[in-house]
Structures are given as C-alpha cells and as structure tokens.
Structure 1
Amino acid sequence: MDNTISGGCFCGKVRFSIQGTPIRQRACWCRDCQYLASGNASINIAFRSQDVSVEGELSHYESLADSGNRMRRSFCPNCGTHLFSGQVAFPDYVVVRAGTLDDREIAAPQSIIWMDSKPSWGWADPDIPHHPRHVPAVPPPVQD
C-alpha cells in the first residue's frame, strides 16, 4: 500500500510528495498566518524536510515572526499559492499548508496556537488544546 502524501499549487506548476507521517498538525491564528489564509487561521502540518520532495520552481520570502523566529515561506511564483514554511533555525522540518494537500482529511488540527491574535468572529474547535501564543519551539528529534 502506498502511503505517499501528495499536493500542489493552484496552477499545478508545483507538485510535492511526502514519504512520512505528520509530526504535528495545528491551526495558527498569528497575524502572519491570517494574512496567508485570507483572514482565517492557517492549518499547518509539520513533516521532516528529508521526507518532502518538490517538483517545480518555488519562490521564497523570509520574515521575522512575532514569536521571534525567522521564518522562510515558499510559494509558487506563477499562481502565488503558499505551500510551505519553516523556521530558519530548524531546517530539518517543513510546515505544509493543509489547503495544498490532495487529501485534506489528513490535516485535522490537534491544537491551536496564537489564540490571543484571533479576531472575535474567528472560530476555534473547543475540543482541542488552545494556546494564547506560540508554543515554544522544541522540535522532536529527527530519526532515520
């Protein structure tokens, strides 16, 4: 049975495949993610970078997040779809945007971060853990 996770951008010029399991899945209400998710929380799934293969050209944008982490965001230069992000300090991990997955059912958040930045009308699943800001970055050890 093939356990490949796949996805791509809106125009199809960038495709990716993942041969691994998610490390963490969460929704983020930080202000940066609200920009990227058209005002909503972004839904993010973290994987080991070595498990992700990308076909097609990506453009990148780096910025300093409210958490103090330097973030690198990757997107399709043709259609602008935001596909990946990651902390510059932790290159062994990549965050994949749930909307870019072919099977979005695997992306159900297990927690929500940056609740302090959520607008009053924003929805947050009451049945999963909520965090007021960023959860301290303690990535799991990379196992081969």
Structure 2
Amino acid sequence: MSEQHEGGCLCGATRYVFSGAPRFAIRCYCRDCQRVSGGGHAPQIAVGRDGLTVTGALKIHRRTAESGSDLEFGFCGECGSPLTKSTSRAPEIAFLYVGSLDNPAIVAEFKPVFEAARQPWDQG
C-alpha cells in the first residue's frame, strides 16, 4: 500500500489526499504565483493527477500564462485558500501548494523556476 498524504484549506471545507511521494518540488517565482501566494514565490509539489482526490468545493480560475501555457488555479470555494494548479504542458500532474499540506515537512528540496521574475526582496 502506498503512503498517503493529506492537506486542505484554511477553513477545512476543501480537502485533498494523494498517494505516494511527490514527483518533484518547485519554488515558482512567476508573476502568477506571486499573485496567488501574495508573496515573492509559491512553493509547490507535483503529484500524479490519477492519485489525487479532492473533496469539497474547488473554485477554478483559468488563464493563459506568459509562456503560452493554459493554467488552472484551484481555490477553496468557501475561504479562497489556494490549493491546486495545473498546466497544459503537463496534464498528467497536479501541483499542490506546499503550505496547504497537513505535513509540509515532507518536502525537503525545491527547484527554483521562472527566476527571471524573482523580486529583488525575495531571497527565499
């Protein structure tokens, strides 16, 4: 049996569970992730979409990234916490915001991406 990990939003109305280890972890500095996180970057893990189950209301916002990829951001339908992200460049995976994990300590190393958009005050 594969190990399961859980997470969810601030109010508890939307939860998720996924099985297995994250495929990889990123610290994204793109402007979209800065806006979603309210900070300089957004730490995320990639998990297989087929092993992810979301319960509760998930509000989806769609947009096209500067790179041309179609993006979907998933937020709790009640409190608005950012939970998921997906990209047309990798439809088989879903990104989860690390801060929404019940145990964010499962992630030790992050690969920085879109560093050209990194804010000079964000050294994290």
TM-score if structure 2 supplies the norm length? 0.93
Question: 4+ residue runs of structure 1 moved beyond 3 angstroms?
Answer: none
By relative contact order (CA 8 Å, sep 6+), the higher-ranking structure is 2
Q: Match of 1:67, SS?
A: coil
Distance 1:87 1:2 in 2: 26
Larger radius of gyration between Structure 1 and Structure 2: 1
More strand as a share of residues? 2
Matched, 1:72 2:72: yes
Is the Cα–Cα contact under 8 Å of residues 27 and 109 in structure 1 kept in the other structure? no
Opposite residue 31 of structure 2, the aligned amino acid is R
**Cα distance, 1:2 vs. partner?**
7.0
Q: What percentage of residue pairs aligned between the two structures are identical?
A: 29
| Cα RMSD (Å) | 1.5
In structure 2, what is the Cα distance between the partners aligned to 1:99 and 1:66? 25
Distance in 2 (CA, whole Å) between partners of 1:116 and 1:90 is 21
Report the CA distance between 1:55 and its aligned residue.
1.1
Unmatched runs of 5 consecutive residues or more in structure 2:
none
How far off its partner does 1:89 sit?
A: 4.9
- CA distance in structure 2 between the aligned counterparts of 1:108 and 1:26, rounded to whole angstroms: 11
* Residue in structure 2 matched with residue 24 of structure 1 by the alignment: 24
Quote the offset at 1:108 in angstroms.
Answer: 3.1
Q: TM-score, normalised by structure 1?
A: 0.80
1:75–1:84 CA contact under 8 A, matched in 2 = yes
Aligned length: 124
SS in 1 for 2:13: coil
